[in-house]
Amino acid sequence: MKPPTASPAQARIGSFHLDLQAGELHKNGLKVRLQEQPRQILAMLIDRPGEVVTREELKRRLWPADTFVDFEHGLNKAINRLREALGDKVSTPRYIETLPRRGYRLIAPVEPVGALPSSPNEEFSIDPVTVRRPPPLQEAWKRQTRWRALVLALLAAILALWFATHRAQPKPELKQRRLTANPVEQPVTGAAISPDGRYLAYSDSAGIHLKLIETGETHAVTPKVGPRSGGEQAGRLARSKRAWLLAGWFPDGMRLLANRGEDKGYSIWTLSILGGPPRKLRERAWANSVSPDGSLIAFTTGEAATFPYYELWVMGPEGDEARKIAIADQNRRFLEAVWAPDSRRLATLSWGARCAIETRDLIGGRPILVASNPDLGKNYGGLVWLSDGRLIYPQADPPPNQSYDNLWEIKVDPRTGGPAGAPRRITNWVDSLFWSLSTTADGKRLAFLKGNPQSDVCVGELEAKGTRLKTPRRLTLDEHQDIPSAWTPDSKAVLFVSDRTGSFNFFKQALDEDSAEPLTSGREAYSGTTAYWNKEAPHFSSNGEWILYAEASKTEDAGLPSASWRLLRMPAAGGPSQFVLEGHGFFKHCCARAPATLCVLGEWSADRKQILLTSFDPVKGRGREVGKIDARLQPGIVSWDLSPDASRIAYSEFNEHEGRVRFLSLTGGTIADLVVPGWSCFSEMAWAFDRKGLFVTSIGASTRILYVDLQGHAYPLWELPAFSVSWAVPSPDGRHLAILGPTWDSNGWMLENF
């Protein structure tokens, strides 16, 4: 019988290698991220190379008959993602040809690489054997042998039973379950499982909800509000809507602890799951957790307008008897504060110059270090202390997956508060981030938020001399981290950094194109955190001939203040990169616009109290020092930018009490400070092309992009939810604004057998 033929298990299309069984796409040995729908489209095209696959056929394959969806938009988006992964263009296709109003055709040759192994049926026969009857002596010897074998078998069974009952049983497999199904437009912002494990309380833009885990029945705890807008046109920009963020449960299982974002900052509230009005406990503070005995609430504050804070406090369950426990070290802030099972100690996760998990008692003793490494808190924070003494937390994976987390645990000695063993990895998942961790009273169920926050390049058209912005649109239509950094000199395309190839590389995308052109490939992965993108982001030289960027001498040191960096130049027309200069503690580089020729590099001083500003030439290298910026305030966040005519440098510190812009004159003399009434917490800034104002990011209960003129008048252009990191990059012709637009895809999950 002829064995059945098998379809190819793998195929090669150009420089790409597709594993049909695993659903993975590779290029030059590197995995290319490809979502499910684009993968299905590629599989259909490979099945019929050179033939037209109609849009109707794709619709039937991707969406069942009872699915209600905007098919045209969904298919176009999936095709765009597939083209992004293949580096293909609509205008000059190398892989996928579009036949208008009909469908698509794979025009690249397909080469089968391997086939699923077949198992041919092999026939065999056994020759008959003649068995002779043994003589009587042999029979007796055989009976004794049987008894010996029986005794040995019995002893072996006893030994096996003893070993089975005296050795550790293998741990059952992790059991994961999704608890919420919010869309991308309404991500879950906080979640906590009830002490008895029956309910999940969670928050989103509509308020706080309570879900019965067994049945899925859900009801609202807070009055419903409309979803927040991602951004509104200036002139009709609404005041920040009050957003609820769940913090946790009280041990009685009847009350919830929550934070509420307001224009003046965050406030702490309690709510009953049985109904009734919420009760405010404290303003300008952030609630972390309730002690297991219900007697105290841990919270952070610091007279600030935004989280995270640098003072750790505790108070009674009604907001009474508040007292300070600790102040974070310089350039550090508290992300998490959770209670020990006996309510006698607190564990904190701090973020800043050094990320660490520490425990401390309630009488002001010194902190005890439990764990510290650069991957803690790199992406998102989270911490929970189980009843069996384990601390569970998320930690970033090593490159090239440093943009994602996995869950880890470490045992804590209840007497000393120090570690009682080495950290152990719990999960081995990909493409996920974790935060908002909580557990049941018995420690058998762990709830958390899991998702894929991403950033996109959005572009909006400026009006009224930069004081109004038309609603921005997404320029990058993939599901990766895309971070805008500059415009081409002709204002027709945006330069951005993206991890779409598995590591962070530079790309250029024109305003009228739906795909990007890669400028680099195969670069080593960077830290992946927004705090360091400004260091390595590409910018043009004054004459537009060079693209200037920085890279760490050692990738693993990129997040350290003392890291060694190199500044490189790459021809704008294409070609290999060349060395410009090197130094330590790089903090942004930029160039004025022609006819000016000045370029400036910022570098932190060794004590991180100043930013040293040095001129440089893209070809000749380092020049003279042009000035210094003092960093006087916590948390040490400073933003600065060189004016287009090279006459001054504008800079601002993150100040929780006022919005103040200072100027450093490069032509002599002094320039008065610019105070912006009613605004504070400036984190990023960029000069407008006409030098008559600045585009500034203000972080508070929400993040706002502002245009500030040199008289101190502020014009809100775009609003984003709380905790959003964003900035604006104006085009050289003054007509457009490229904005870092973050989006979230987060939902509640539950883990057992961990």
Q: How far apart are CA 678 and CA 664, in angstroms?
A: 24
The 10s digit of each residue's pLDDT in 252-274 is: 999 999 999 876 678 999 999 99
The 10s digit of each residue's pLDDT in 619-648 is: 999 999 999 998 765 555 789 999 999 999
Mean pLDDT of 505-526: 82
Q: CA gyration radius for the chain?
A: 31
Question: 71-86 and 55-62 helices cross at what angle (nearest 10)?
Answer: 90
% of the chain residues with pLDDT over 90: 49
Higher pLDDT pick, 215 / 23 = 215
Using CB atoms within 10 Å of the CB of residue 253, give its burial: 0 to 12 exposed, 13 to 18 middle, 19+ buried. middle
User: Nearest Cα to 213, choosing from 446, 529, 419?
Assistant: 446
**Residue 597: pLDDT over 80:** yes
Considering only 366-375, 458-467, 591-600, which range has the smallest mean pLDDT? 366-375
Q: How far apart are CA 297 and CA 294, in angstroms?
A: 8
Examine residue 374 and say whether the peptide bond preceding it is cis (omega within 30 degrees of 0).
no
Instruction: Output the pLDDT for position 424.
Output: 94
On the CB side of 606, CA atoms within 13 Å amount to 0
The 10s digit of each residue's pLDDT in 61-119 is: 877 665 555 567 678 878 888 888 888 887 788 889 888 778 899 888 888 875 433 33
Instruction: Output the pLDDT for position 745.
Output: 80
Q: Does an H or E element contain 285, and which? A: strand 285-290
- SS3 of 358, please? strand
Q: How far apart are CA 513 and CA 527, in angstroms?
A: 29
Instruction: Output the pLDDT for position 614.
Output: 97
Per the prediction, the chain carries an average pLDDT of 83
φ and ψ at 283, to 5 degrees?
-100, 165
Asked if residue 688 lies in contact with residue 734, where contact means CB atoms within 8 angstroms, the answer is yes
pTM: 0.68
C-alpha angle with apex 587: 432 to 728, nearest 5 degrees?
65
The 10s digit of each residue's pLDDT in 175-187 is: 999 999 998 878 8
Instruction: Output the pLDDT for position 635.
Output: 52
Instruction: Output the pLDDT for position 642.
Output: 97
Domains in the chain (CATH in brackets) are 8-115 (1.10.10.10), 188-224+241-451 (2.120.10.30), 454-743 (2.120.10.30)
Instruction: Output the pLDDT for position 587.
Output: 87
Instruction: Output the pLDDT for position 232.
Output: 34
Alpha carbon of residue 53 to chain centroid? 36
Instruction: Output the pLDDT for position 413.
Output: 94
Mean pLDDT of 681-695: 94
Examine residue 317 and say whether the peptide bond preceding it is cis (omega within 30 degrees of 0).
no
Using CB atoms within 10 Å of the CB of residue 466, give its burial: 0 to 12 exposed, 13 to 18 middle, 19+ buried. buried
Using CB atoms within 10 Å of the CB of residue 696, give its burial: 0 to 12 exposed, 13 to 18 middle, 19+ buried. buried
Instruction: Output the pLDDT for position 303.
Output: 62
Alpha carbon of residue 329 to chain centroid? 25
Task: Take residue 557 and report the two structure tokens written for it.
Answer: 């040191």
Instruction: Output the pLDDT for position 6.
Output: 40
The 10s digit of each residue's pLDDT in 272-300 is: 999 899 999 998 899 999 999 999 999 99
Provide the pLDDT confidence category of residue 341 given band limits of 50, 70 and 90.
Answer: very high
Asked if residue 133 lies in contact with residue 142, where contact means CB atoms within 8 angstroms, the answer is no
Higher pLDDT pick, 310 / 597 = 597
Mean pLDDT of 382-406: 88
Instruction: Output the pLDDT for position 91.
Output: 74
- Map tokens 């508070």 to a residue: 700
**Which residues, other chains included, contact 314 with Cβ-Cβ below 8 Å and sequence gap of 6+?**
296, 297, 298, 299, 322, 323, 325, 346, 362
Instruction: Please report the sign of the dihedral spanned by the C-alpha atoms of residue 711, residue 712, residue 716, residue 720.
Output: positive
Higher pLDDT pick, 378 / 673 = 673
Instruction: Output the pLDDT for position 613.
Output: 96
Provide the pLDDT confidence category of residue 5 given band limits of 50, 70 and 90.
Answer: very low
Task: Take residue 337 and report the two structure tokens written for it.
Answer: 């504060």
Asked if residue 114 lies in contact with residue 122, where contact means CB atoms within 8 angstroms, the answer is no
Instruction: Output the pLDDT for position 441.
Output: 96
The 10s digit of each residue's pLDDT in 449-476 is: 998 778 899 999 999 999 999 999 999 9
Bridge partner list, 424: 409
φ and ψ at 207, to 5 degrees?
130, -155
**Which residues, other chains included, contact 100 with Cβ-Cβ below 8 Å and sequence gap of 6+?**
none
Considering only 259-263, 506-510, 691-695, which range has the smallest mean pLDDT? 259-263
Using CB atoms within 10 Å of the CB of residue 678, give its burial: 0 to 12 exposed, 13 to 18 middle, 19+ buried. exposed
Bridge partner list, 349: 336, 357
Reduced DSSP (H G I as helix, E B as strand, rest coil) percent helix, strand, coil of the chain, to 5: 10, 45, 45
Mean pLDDT of 556-583: 83
List helix spans (H) across 389-493.
none
Higher pLDDT pick, 520 / 312 = 312
Provide the pLDDT confidence category of residue 134 given band limits of 50, 70 and 90.
Answer: very low
Strand locations in 632-692 (E): 638-642, 648-653, 659-665, 674-676, 682-687
Considering only 40-49, 533-542, 674-683, which range has the smallest mean pLDDT? 533-542
Single-letter residue type at 186: Q
Single-letter residue type at 113: V
The 10s digit of each residue's pLDDT in 206-247 is: 899 999 999 999 999 997 544 433 333 332 233 344 689 999
- Map tokens 């951005």 to a residue: 496
The 10s digit of each residue's pLDDT in 528-561 is: 444 344 557 899 999 999 999 998 877 655 555 5
**Residue 251: pLDDT over 70:** yes
The DSSP annotation for 290-334 comes to E-TTSS-EEEEE-S-SSSSBSEEEEE-TTS-S-EEEEEPPTTEEE
Q: How far apart are CA 670 and CA 687, in angstroms?
A: 19
Strands 648-653 and 659-665, bridge-based pairing: antiparallel
% of the chain residues with pLDDT over 70: 82
Give the count of beta carbons closer than 10 Å to the beta carbon of residue 327: 13
b/e 102-121 (16+ beta carbons within 10 angstroms → b): ebbbbebebeeeeeeeeeee
What region does 55 belong to: left with phi over 0, alpha with psi -120 to 50, or beta? alpha
Instruction: Output the pLDDT for position 636.
Output: 58
Integer angstrom CA distances of residue 359 from 393, 548, 576:
14, 44, 50
Considering only 122-126, 202-206, 465-469, which range has the smallest mean pLDDT? 122-126
Task: Take residue 457 and report the two structure tokens written for it.
Answer: 């390049």
- SS3 of 474, please? strand
Q: Does an H or E element contain 706, and which? A: strand 703-709
Q: How far apart are CA 537 and CA 550, in angstroms?
A: 7
Instruction: Output the pLDDT for position 331.
Output: 65
Alpha carbon of residue 143 to chain centroid? 72
Give the count of beta carbons closer than 10 Å to the beta carbon of residue 67: 10
